[in-house]
Each structure stands twice: as structure tokens, then as C-alpha cells.
Chains A and B, each alone.
Chain A
Amino acid sequence: KQEVTQIPAALSVPEGENLVLNCSFTDSAIYNLQWFRQDPGKGLTSLLLIQSSQREQTSGRLNASLDKSSGRSTLYIAASQPGDSATYLCAVRREGGSYIPTFGRGTSLIVHP
């Protein structure tokens, strides 16, 4: 059974820092890995999707990498801003016909001015 772990559970940093959020998974037979952002009281917004054949994806100040062999993905946030404050979740979808992604518990990020 796939297990997804996100470390750290919470993070508080000053504005301007470069951040790395971690996501690890136990079964490397994945179809894709997706990073989400969730603001308080809101739904999940898709940030980046990495297919199993890809190593990384970039969108603006965000860069997500994938290392299937070690069961890890990292979300890199450059030059953090207070508006980046949110909970970040990763989800892994298994290859071979499963429609069900497995979610991590998320990292709660606070960027203070």
C-alpha cells in the first residue's frame, strides 16, 4: 500500500527565503505526482504535475522535482512571499490502472513579512 509522507508538517520563514518542501512515497511504481496548494477554507489548487517519465516541472517561482528510485519529490519555492502562505499537499497516483491518488498530510507554510 502506497504511503506518502510530507516533511516538515509546518514551516515559518521570513519573506525572501528560498524553500524546499519534501514529499516521500513508499512505492516507486507511480503514474504521476501532483503538488497542490490549499488556502484556509478553500479547495485544492493544482500547482504542478510530474509524469513518471519526467524529472521536473517548473511554473514561475515553483519547481518540482521527482526521483522515483528514491521515492522522493521536492517542491522548491524561490524568493518566498507572504502570499505563498498556505498548506501544500502532494499526491501520488499509482501506475497500472488505479484512479485513486494517495495524499500526504501536507506542509503548512507561513511566510511572514
Chain B
Amino acid sequence: SQTIHQWPATLVQPVGSPLSLECTVEGTSNPNLYWYRQAAGRGLQLLFYSVGIGQISSEVPQNLSASRPQDRQFILSSKKLLLSDSGFYLCAWSVRGYRSINTGELFFGEGSRLTVL
């Protein structure tokens, strides 16, 4: 069966410090990968998505970046955190492509809570 792991689960960082959140998927290959942010009282905001190694699409301008060094690994980074980067970050995956057996179902990790002070 497929599983998705995110870490760290909780992070408290000072303004201006770097960030690295990691997400890995097991039990599947060639997944679509996504990073979302959920700020307090707000909806889910798509930050990045990837359809393959080294292929990253950014949905919003910000001081965050994403990388996909391996097929099932997705990393969210920042060189200098801002207060506004605080939030709940969620990684997700889905089967790639529109084959008849692909339902397009989206699966989420447990999330990483980031507090920037």
C-alpha cells in the first residue's frame, strides 16, 4: 500500500532562518506531488506541484522554493523565513496521468506546523 511521510511535524524558527520540509511517498512510482499551505482561518493554498523529477510549477510568488531530487521525494525550502510563512504545510500525492484506471484520488500527509517568531 502507498504511504506518505512528512517531517518535521512541528517546527519553530526565527525570522530570517532557513527552512527545509521533506515529504516522501512509498509504494508507488511517478506520482504527482503537491505542497499546500493552510493558514489559520484560511483555505488550502497550493504552493507547488510536480509531475516529475526536476519539474516544479509554482502557483504563487513567495520566498519559498521546492525541489524534487528523487521520484518520490519533494522538498519545500526557504533561505530566509518571514513571519507570514507561519502556517500548516501539507504534502500530497496522486497517480500521474489520465489512464482509465487512474481515479485521480489525492492523498495527504500528516502536515508540518511551522511557527516563525
Contact = CB atoms under 8 A, between A and B. Distances in A.
B66 interface: no
Given A99-B49, A100-B49, A106-B43, A46 B107 contact: yes
Given A32-B103, A44-B90, A103 B44 contact: yes
Contact of B106 (A42, A46, A51, A106): A46
Interface residues of B, number: 24
A97 interface: yes
Contacts of A97: 98
Contacts of A34: 105-106
Interface in A56-113: 89, 91, 93, 97, 99-101, 103-106
Q: How many A residues are at the interface, by size bracket? A: 20 to 34
A93 B103 CA distance: 11
B7 interface: no
A75 to B, nearest CB: 16
B76 to A, nearest CB: 15
16 contacts: A31-B98, A32-B105, A34-B106, A41-B113, A43-B90, A43-B110, A44-B92, A44-B108, A46-B106, A46-B108, A49-B103, A99-B32, A99-B49, A100-B49, A100-B59, A103-B43
Interface of A: 31-32, 34, 36, 41-46, 49, 51, 89, 91, 93, 97, 99-101, 103-106
